[in-house]
Each structure stands twice: as C-alpha cells, then as structure tokens.
Amino acid sequence: MARRAKAAKAVKTARPKKAARKTPPQKKKGGPDPIDVHVGGRVRLRRMVLGMSQDALGKALGLTFQQVQKYEKGANRIGAGRLMQLSELLEVPVQFFYDDYDSIGGARGFAEDGPEDPFMELLHSQEGVQLCRYYSEIEDPKVRKRVLELVRSISETETAKAR
C-alpha cells in the first residue's frame, strides 16, 4: 500500500515544464485591459461612422450614455451578449471589434493616449469621420474633385504659413 501512495505522490509532483511563450500585453495597474480599450475604441469608431450619438446607442441597448462612454474608453468590459447586441445595432460582424488587434503587442485603441500618426488621428476624430462620411455621399465626380482641390489648396496654404 505504501508503495502505491509513493508512486501516486511522485506522479502528482512530477509536472511537465511549460514551454516559454510570449505574454500578451498586461493591463496597467488600475487601468483598463488593452483588449477592452481596443474593443471600446472600435465601438466608438463605428458609432461615429454611423452618425449615432452615445445617448442613442445607450437607449437602443437600454443603458445610459455614461455606460456607453465607459465601454468606449475600455473602463468597463463588454460581455459576449452585449457585444452581439452591439454588432447588430452597429451593423458589423462581431469580429469587427477585434480587427487590427495584435494579441502579443497590443494595438492602439481608439481611447488610448499617446502620439499617433496625424492621418489616423484625423480618422479617429469626430470631424474626420464626418468629413469622410459626407465626402462619400457626394455622387458627382466633378464635385468630389473640386472638394479635394479645395482641401489641398487650404492644406498647402497652411503648410506655407507654418514655414
């Protein structure tokens, strides 16, 4: 009997060593998890593209706009059922919320602070989203070209002033 107990104990204590693996980004002490920030940022981006307010999205979900704000900042984690509701309301597949996220290095979430490429900063701003949405609604190619030329001219003037 003692022999069996020793053998059983040896089996329990002899565990295989775990293979070394890259660790996913860790959340800052007291801060939101990077994936929650990313998912929340994607919710905000899609909401803005649709021209929907936080209040309207909140009402559709049965929440306050403050709760939507917390989701978008990554302060509150979005559960699976709620993510499914969001995908239906925002008319995107659930995968959309995880797109562009690198599980090893993380990805810049919409609500994160820090330096960002000016082009991406524009796309993530309310004005940039509106500009893209309204521009895409212009059907006449000649009008689109004139709008583009106007923006280019303003940009060149601003760049010349900065020098």
Give 93-119 pLDDT, tens digit per residue.
999 999 888 765 555 444 444 455 677
More confident residue, 109 or 85: 85
Q: Tens digit of pLDDT for each residue in 48-60?
A: 888 899 999 999 9
Q: How many other CB atoms are there within 10 angstroms of residue 99's CB atom?
A: 11
Asked if 91 and 108 sit in the same domain, the reply is yes
The pair of three-digit structure tokens given for residue 20, joined into one six-digit string: 């070394």
The number of angstroms, rounded, from the C-alpha of 13 to the middle of its chain's C-alpha atoms is 43
Domain total for the chain? Answer: 2
Asked if 69 and 137 sit in the same domain, the reply is no
**Whole-prediction pTM value?**
0.60
Asked if 69 and 138 sit in the same domain, the reply is no
Asked if 57 and 78 sit in the same domain, the reply is yes
At which residue do the structure tokens 């919320």 appear?
97
Mean pLDDT, range 26-35, rounded to an integer? 74
Domain assignment of residue 59, given as a range: 30-114
Asked if 71 and 132 sit in the same domain, the reply is no
Q: What does the alpha-carbon distance between residue 53 and residue 45 come to, in Å, rounded to a whole number? A: 11
Residue 16 belongs to some domain of the structure: no
Identify the three-state secondary structure at position 15: coil
Rounded to 5 degrees, φ, ψ at 53 are -85, 160
